Structure 1
């Protein structure tokens, strides 16, 4: 089946309201679009009551699922094995298989850009709630949100690669130090601090940032580019840039918008504002590398 390129406007994609909580999951790419390679979604929501040393999401791990967190708005607590960091925009957490983890939104509006491989795990989120057409999330009883979420997670855990670890002790808050400024060089879980590490990092796929300005002439991508076997996903973090597909269809893309360019798509990109920053996600050998 031919896979088509497309663009998602901000907050317009397929959404699931996580029942009983002030949060939604927005699906950008699923099994159907990526041939089962990976899923990309954003999780958005607001803070709701939970004890200081506890997470609203029950402590768990995955045997096969590789789940990456990139904070793009607000703040979120993330526990990862024996570590605990507060993620702010552009901080990253790599949740490798078998890593015990939990998280809890603490901002009035927090958004997490999530990369999950292999694909199919999006159905777990569908099992937690129901389709939702609003741009954000509905009003809920915040005092009962954690109870509702825990109940929902318990109902879907047995159907998916979710292994509860209720006896794992969550550690106290830890400051960012020097260990989060470089890649570990292995498949172990890790945190990566904003503006540190290599320009790209790889697991089964690669994530990198692309920055530019309309004040400078594009050189590397001048004339367009095509990858015969590699898919690329662009998430705009700041500013605007223009994507032209197959030398015909041009679109101006802004913050929180997504462009999906599957393998064999010929595309050209150029800055459309004084500054732009884009996160690029692809398999190894794509534009991110």
Structure 2
């Protein structure tokens, strides 16, 4: 049995499950937020890092850009403002912002309690948080910090700009959050450019009773990673998720946001509950069993993997929830696609 743990192992090629709101927790002084390292470069061979953030309303973090790092903001609860060049949206649960290299950006947590998860490519950039922050052992995040920002944070930020891929842009104009745009914020751009994607929009594909919604694909990440939302139901028999998958070249991470998911990773059984994260390194076999009437989870992949396979196998789908009854799908076609593109 693969039991949940509170810390990632810090070494490559080892699958693991993190408890909800766990991982190495880092507090950025005076930020009223905590950063949780769910997957780091050490686990993923620097393919990506996955970082969770929870916090209360504070000031924007300051405009900056990265020469190489690609940032993603996926809101899980509450609200967060994200700026990208001359655009800004207020993200709610399920909304996403993609910020490629050379895009001037910043974010601002809103409300009493907001959670979002971010993917950073390449892995290793998460060392920035360790450099400017402090270990934190509380349940969520501290709300009160009366220390002098010029003593505890500003010197670290100045030093970090020389050590890490982070270039401040202090004079960048901060526009007000703008309305979501029909016809623009409801589809994937098909190119490496900053964009916002509103929850429940974008392309969707149906395989059996499983709905796959790609949020970022190879075109939007220059082939470096992909992210998708997957939904299904234990009411449906013969789910394609119950097949055994093994991807030779890409790592997967799964985070459940609703329902319960059974996993077999290698020869170990596991259960993934709401808020928990599973990491599956490349070449490791895995299969899934939906254990709840409804399941929703996000999958983060260091390239093309499970999400791309299911999208290729599926048919375009215009509903926002799984169907009442599953449709037929071909296991032989899945096997052929797997052997041709992912073995």
Tell me the TM-score normalised to structure 1 length.
0.91
Counterpart position of 1:269: 288
1:165-184 equivalences in 2 (<5 Å): 165-178=169-182, 179-184=184-189
Matched, 1:21 2:34: no
Match of 1:212 among 224, 232, 251: 232
Gapped runs of 5+ residues in structure 2? 1-10, 204-212, 309-343
Q: Offset of 1:153 from its aligned partner?
A: 2.9
- Contact persistence 1:22–1:142 (CA under 8 A): no
CA RMSD of aligned residues (A): 2.0
Matched, 1:196 2:205: no
Aligned residues: 282
Higher relative contact order (CA 8 A, sep 6+): 1
- 1:188 and 1:262 map into 2 onto residues whose CA distance is 28
- 1:111 and 1:239 map into 2 onto residues whose CA distance is 18
Q: Offset of 1:185 from its aligned partner?
A: 1.4
Partner of 2:282, secondary structure, is coil
Matched, 1:185 2:190: yes
Larger Rg: 2
- Contact persistence 2:12–2:45 (CA under 8 A): no
Q: Offset of 1:218 from its aligned partner?
A: 3.6
Partner of 1:252, secondary structure, is strand
Match of 2:303 among 267, 284, 289: 284
Matched, 1:64 2:74: no
Q: 1:2 to 1:128 in 2, by over 3 A?
A: closer
- Contact persistence 2:226–2:302 (CA under 8 A): yes
- Residues 21-68 of structure 1 show CA distances to partners (whole Å, capped at 9, x for unaligned) of 2111100111110101111111111113x4xxxx2x011111111111
Matched, 1:6 2:25: no
Counterpart position of 2:334: none
Matched, 1:251 2:270: yes
1:113-262 equivalences in 2 (<5 Å): 113-141=117-145, 152-178=156-182, 179-198=184-203, 199-200=213-214, 201-202=216-217, 203=221, 204-246=224-266, 248-262=267-281
Q: Offset of 1:145 from its aligned partner?
A: 7.3
- 1:224 and 1:17 map into 2 onto residues whose CA distance is 39
- 2:120 and 2:201 map into 1 onto residues whose CA distance is 22
Q: Offset of 1:117 from its aligned partner?
A: 0.6
- 2:90 and 2:297 map into 1 onto residues whose CA distance is 23
- Contact persistence 2:252–2:302 (CA under 8 A): yes
Q: Offset of 1:147 from its aligned partner?
A: 9.8
- 1:171 and 1:148 map into 2 onto residues whose CA distance is 29
Counterpart position of 2:324: none
- Residues 150-187 of structure 1 show CA distances to partners (whole Å, capped at 9, x for unaligned) of 56533422211111111110112210111101111110
